[in-house]
Structure 1
Amino acid sequence: MKLSCWIIYNGFLPGNKFRDYAEMIQEAAIAHGHEATLYTNSDIVSFLDQEINIISLKNDLLPDYIVYTDKDIYLAKQLELLHIPVFNCAKAIDISDDKIKTYQMLAAKQIPIPRTVFAPKTFGLHVHFDDLFFQSIIEQFGFPLIMKEAFGSFGEQVYFVSNVVELKEQVEKIADRPFMFQQFIETSYGVDLRLQVVGDEVITAMKRTSNTDFRANVTSGGKMETYIPNDAEKALAIRASKAIGADFAGVDLLFGENNERIVCEVNSNAHIRNLYDCTGVNVAPDIIQYIEKRLGEREQ
């Protein structure tokens, strides 16, 4: 029986990288003999009443599975409520999208992360923290330290803080949003690893290096090179992916003291084009093959 799938991406975000990712998945699905259709999150309209229903503007036939490359968690959950297998699942995407939730899950599984303190919830109000609060942060981390907003991609919404003046100024700027304070890993300044996990395997990896920024993200000027991870790095990345419930993820590792590895982020919707350009490995076929295996297990 020929499988059908939808690949859903966000149609509102600028640039073509989001559609490109979806197209890479589509090409791999078609190569495996699947019927694969691209949709944006705005192509599908959800209707809720006593019976959960969903109507696509283009196709009323529901697919056998969905590869969900977006962060529109409400739609992902709605599709799951219709009993359609969604990869990654809504819960994993939700955790990955919120860095505070991610670190909570990683810490709960005793996975090494930078020491982290998340700020109190302010309900969107632009509040002012007192000196006692700032003193407690300084005592915990010293300088420099890192501040991160809970929501952000491509290394954005991450701030390097050198002194108390910068600390107070940065808190003033983002106090109406969820954010955290984090230990600065000096031994990983401008360098990190990206390992692409699919199921129980690390498919490929790259090392990113920047000479001009504390962040190694390519969008921040980082350069890429192929990296061969060791067994410990692979095991750590797989543990991190499973900690958030992801079927596949891009896991970013930092270089800690004594050459240890520390998990920086787990990206449930990691774009795979840069990895392909760097390593020559297209992860999309591995994702489709993994999904076929999972669907077969469901059948059994």
Structure 2
Amino acid sequence: MAEYSGWIIRNGHITANKFTELFDMLQNAARKSGLEVKLVKHHELVPVIENGSPVLKGKYSNEKPDFILFWDKDVRLARHLENMGFRLYNSAQAIENCDDKSLTHQVLSKYGISMPKTITSPLLFPNCDLTDFTFYQYVEEELGYPFVMKEVYGSFGMQVYLVRNHSEFMEKVNQLKHKPHVYQEFIQSSSGKDIRLHVVGDEVVATMMRKSESDFRANVTNGGKMYQYTPTEEQAALAVKSAKLLGADFAGVDLLFGENDEPIICEVNSNAHMKNILSCTGIDVSEFIMDYIYKDLEAKR
């Protein structure tokens, strides 16, 4: 019997193969690391605040896992579990910091991390409409054209748009006005090219370059190609530092190439997919994650 038992919490409403394959990888890696894990759907856990204290009701209410690998973005559930005393990998705060792209840049901005010039959209309540466009004039003056608009919640390069002129800008403003989003400087030197570095603990364990000949986004989902890549010391150091500042035990860090190839933070993903990096490099990042969890549990005994 394994020394430690835990849960892998996933979103129970997502059934696509690329997610189920991912959870198979994590379960297999856990067994190799001497961990016993159970796959738990997030909606099977009923977080209740009762008599002023957090408790769990439902299917697993009587279980007490030694650890929880939280592979979802339901930060409210994650925080509830932490309030009950469970150790989560990643923490609720790390997931929130990474999932909200505006928050990612705000947290990192306290530490002088290299990133594109970024402007956060103003809040517009759903029952309101725009009456003053002065803010958007400042965006145009600050960034010039083209620039990038990103919804703060999104994955696989989706919800990311290149804005080339005023007409396109106003069209996107109207489309996204009730959704939180950011406006970012377009890094021309990295158009259609970036690198994904998987960080676990204090090290980069796998890296690949992504290139697209047809899109400013390099994501494989959007047609980008994968290439093996050895990061420079500067790139690896920036990826590790950024993941740690965001509080992540592990993360997929996306870096852009500046004018002189200086690394620039694009995004940090708290639960990055690992199938593509495995196909590209032959490295199973899930094994590093599970080894990290086992060693961390041992260190805290």
TM-score, length of structure 2 as denominator length: 0.96
Instruction: Measure how far apart 1:16 and its partner are.
Output: 2.3
Instruction: Measure how far apart 1:125 and its partner are.
Output: 4.2
Instruction: Measure how far apart 1:298 and its partner are.
Output: 2.0
Name the SS for the 1:63 alignment partner.
coil
Q: 1:199 to 1:193 in 2, by over 3 A?
A: same
User: Is 1:86–2:88 an aligned residue pair?
Assistant: yes
8 Å Cα contact 2:33-2:294 kept in structure 1: no
Alignment of 1:256-295 (within 5 A): 256-295=258-297
User: Is 1:71–2:73 an aligned residue pair?
Assistant: yes
8 Å Cα contact 1:114-1:183 kept in structure 2: yes
- Aligned residue type for 1:296: E
Structure 1, 84-93 or 28-37: larger mean CA deviation? 28-37
User: Is 1:180–2:182 an aligned residue pair?
Assistant: yes
Structure 1, 234-243 or 287-296: larger mean CA deviation? 287-296
- Aligned residue type for 1:47: V
Alignment of 1:5-16 (within 5 A): 5-16=6-17
Alignment of 1:41-120 (within 5 A): 41-50=42-51, 51-58=53-60, 60-120=62-122
Name the SS for the 1:113 alignment partner.
coil
In the alignment, which residue of structure 1 is the partner of 2:41? 40
Coordinate RMSD, CA, aligned: 1.4
Name the SS for the 1:42 alignment partner.
helix
Instruction: Measure how far apart 1:61 and its partner are.
Output: 1.5
Percent identical: 44
Number of positions where the alignment pairs a residue of Structure 1 with one of Structure 2: 299
Structure 1, 116-125 or 248-257: larger mean CA deviation? 116-125
- Aligned residue type for 1:102: T
8 Å Cα contact 2:125-2:178 kept in structure 1: yes
Tell me the distance in 2 between the aligned counterparts of 1:125 and 1:107. Answer: 32
Instruction: Measure how far apart 1:83 and its partner are.
Output: 1.0
Q: 1:292 to 1:129 in 2, by over 3 A?
A: farther
- Structure 1, unmatched stretches of 5+, are none
Structure 1, 128-137 or 173-182: larger mean CA deviation? 128-137
Q: 1:261 to 1:129 in 2, by over 3 A?
A: farther
8 Å Cα contact 1:205-1:228 kept in structure 2: yes
Runs of 4 or more consecutive aligned structure 1 residues displaced over 6 Å after TM superposition = none
Instruction: Measure how far apart 1:259 and its partner are.
Output: 1.3
Q: 1:124 to 1:109 in 2, by over 3 A?
A: farther
Q: 1:125 to 1:205 in 2, by over 3 A?
A: farther
Q: 1:59 to 1:276 in 2, by over 3 A?
A: farther
Tell me the distance in 2 between the aligned counterparts of 1:230 and 1:105. Answer: 24
Tell me the distance in 1 between the aligned counterparts of 2:215 and 2:127. Answer: 31
Name the SS for the 1:28 alignment partner.
helix
In the alignment, which residue of structure 1 is the partner of 2:197? 195
Name the SS for the 2:96 alignment partner.
helix
Name the SS for the 1:112 alignment partner.
coil
Tell me the distance in 2 between the aligned counterparts of 1:205 and 1:2. Answer: 31
Structure 1, 128-137 or 112-121: larger mean CA deviation? 128-137
